[in-house]
């Protein structure tokens, strides 16, 4: 893996200029615009590989709605588009305005862009990121880092602008990428640096900078399939599956640079073991009013939030309404906020008050909801059905 330490000042300056010229010219060629605007679905082969990588990237980033995400080396900004749809404020950063102009066009074309979220397009010199210290929650990088020579400098910049408990997520080249047919084609066609990424070398660099460690994901080639010979025979495919993971990782890596403790679990981050024990302590029915005293205990591995800067991730006591034959009338009938944040193994009590318009002989199912993510019943929490008569 080439870094600035391997080059003289003259060689470094020459490569920095060449990197800018190649990307600037690439995005000036209007014949490629249709391809850029469709990414990551520009072609069948490319889409399969990208989707495999994007799923792993999103999973390891531990995103929460309302985070500020820096899309470094954004190019045509298609990763910013994805982050916007996931509820993130985005900053698309690139060394060429020609690429960012394509991104601006992409954001104007797509009517599904959430305009309530901030999205910026910033051109910079490839050296100093023009953002304050600790100003972004996450950094995403898609097949850009292996093109640069000032890797150590940029890793330092990533650390500087990343908040405490932040993550840099990269989908990029592996240890033998430069030997691949794709890398050879790109180098011959465009003259770009198609470098390998050596995670052992990078691990030492990022720890010297201050990052805690590197985390890595594994996945097989996206087009790997097996003959189905019954569930009991699946074990024989394990070796072939893992060999495919290692082979694919030689050219396509998805990994994460960790600052602090971004994987601490709370309900802003979907994917955790979010589970509760629900108990009915008391029930009072008078006229068309039903009061249920509910005890909730956190029995999962995730902190339940009672408040948040963004509505997503707030936990409410909620209920579903059914008729006397237990046919669903209304899924989201009533909610009550938690009085406090619930740490693991902590409990609280909530008085759920319901008022029905007419005499009601149906049922109320007591549940919890993680706003914008899921009902707890969907994650295995045992709910309680209460007769409203």
User: What residues pair up with 336 in beta bridges, in sequence order?
Assistant: 317
Q: Are strands 136-142 and 68-72 parallel, antiparallel or unpaired?
A: parallel
Residue 167 domain boundaries: 4-259
Which pLDDT tens digit goes with each residue over 25-50?
889 888 889 999 999 999 998 999 99
Query: Domain check: are 253 and 383 in the same one?
Result: no
Please tell me the pTM assigned to this model: 0.86
**Residue 271 lies inside a defined structural domain of this protein:** no
Residue 247 lies in a domain: yes
**Can you spell out the DSSP letters for 187-216?**
HHHH--------HHHHHHHHHHHT--EEEE
Is residue 245 located within the same domain as residue 290? no
Q: Indicate whether 131 and 180 sit together in one domain.
A: yes
pLDDT truncated to tens, each residue of the chain (389 aa)? 999 999 999 999 998 999 899 998 889 888 889 999 999 999 998 999 999 999 999 999 999 889 999 999 999 999 999 999 999 999 999 999 999 999 999 999 999 999 999 999 999 999 999 999 999 999 999 999 999 999 999 999 999 999 999 999 999 999 999 999 989 988 998 888 999 999 999 999 999 999 999 999 999 999 999 999 888 888 889 999 999 999 999 999 999 999 999 987 788 877 678 899 999 999 998 888 899 999 999 999 999 999 988 788 899 999 999 999 999 999 999 999 999 999 999 999 999 999 887 788 899 999 999 998 889 999 999 999 999 87
Same domain, 159 and 16: yes
Please report whether residue 268 resides in a domain. Answer: no
305 plus 245 within the same structural domain: no
Which residues have a Cβ under 8 Å from the Cβ of 277 and sit 6 or more positions away? 296, 297, 299, 381, 382
Q: Which one, of 304, 302, 285, 293, lies nearest residue 351 by Cα?
A: 293
- Strands ordered across the beta sheet of 252-259: 119-123, 89-94, 68-72, 136-142, 162-173, 252-259, 213-216
Phi/psi region, residue 144 (left: phi>0; alpha: psi -120 to 50; beta: rest), is alpha
201, 224, 259 — which closes off a domain?
A: 259
In the numeric block, the tokens 């979220």 are attached to: 117
Indicate if 235 and 328 belong to the same structural domain. Answer: no
Per-residue pLDDT tens over the stretch 359-383: 888 999 999 999 988 899 999 999 9
Indicate which CATH number applies to the domain containing 336: 2.60.40.10
| Judgement on whether residues 205 and 301 belong to the same structural domain of the protein | no
Number of domains in the chain: 2
């Amino acid at each position: 893996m080439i870094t600035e330490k391997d080059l003289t000042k003259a060689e470094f300056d020459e490569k920095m200029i060449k990197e800018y010229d190649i990307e600037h010219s690439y995005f000036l060629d209007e014949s490629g615009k249709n391809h850029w605007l469709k990414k990551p679905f520009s072609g069948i082969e490319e889409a399969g590989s990208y989707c495999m990588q994007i799923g792993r990237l999103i999973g390891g980033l531990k995103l929460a709605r309302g985070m500020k995400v820096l899309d470094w080396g954004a190019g045509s900004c298609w990763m910013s588009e994805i982050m916007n749809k996931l509820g993130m404020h985005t900053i698309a950063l690139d060394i060429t305005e020609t690429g960012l102009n394509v991104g601006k066009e992409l954001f104007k074309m797509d009517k599904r862009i959430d305009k309530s979220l901030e999205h910026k397009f910033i051109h910079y010199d490839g050296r100093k990121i023009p953002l304050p210290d600790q100003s972004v929650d996450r950094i995403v990088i898609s097949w850009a880092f292996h093109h640069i020579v000032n890797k150590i400098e940029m890793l330092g910049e990533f650390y500087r602008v990343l908040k405490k408990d932040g993550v840099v997520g990269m989908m990029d080249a592996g240890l033998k990428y430069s030997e691949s047919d794709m890398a050879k084609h790109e180098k011959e066609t465009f003259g770009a640096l198609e470098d390998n990424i050596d995670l052992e070398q990078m691990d030492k660099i990022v720890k010297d900078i201050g990052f805690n460690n590197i985390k890595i994901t594994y996945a097989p080639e996206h087009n790997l399939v097996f003959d189905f010979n019954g569930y009991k025979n699946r074990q024989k495919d394990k070796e072939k599956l893992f060999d495919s993971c290692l082979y694919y990782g030689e050219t396509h890596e998805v990994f994460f640079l960790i600052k602090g403790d971004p994987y601490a679990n709370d309900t802003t981050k979907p994917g955790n073991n979010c589970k509760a024990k629900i108990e009915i302590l008391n029930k009072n029915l008078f006229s068309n009013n039903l009061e249920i005293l509910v005890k909730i205990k956190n029995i999962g591995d995730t902190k339940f939030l009672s408040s948040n800067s963004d509505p997503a991730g707030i936990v409410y006591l909620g209920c579903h309404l059914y008729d006397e034959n237990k046919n669903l009338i209304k899924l989201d009938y009533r909610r009550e906020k938690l009085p406090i944040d619930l740490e693991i193994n902590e409990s609280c009590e909530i008085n759920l008050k319901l008022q029905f318009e007419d005499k009601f002989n149906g049922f109320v199912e007591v549940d919890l909801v993680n706003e914008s993510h899921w009902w707890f019943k969907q994650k295995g929490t045992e709910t309680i059905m209460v007769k409203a008569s």
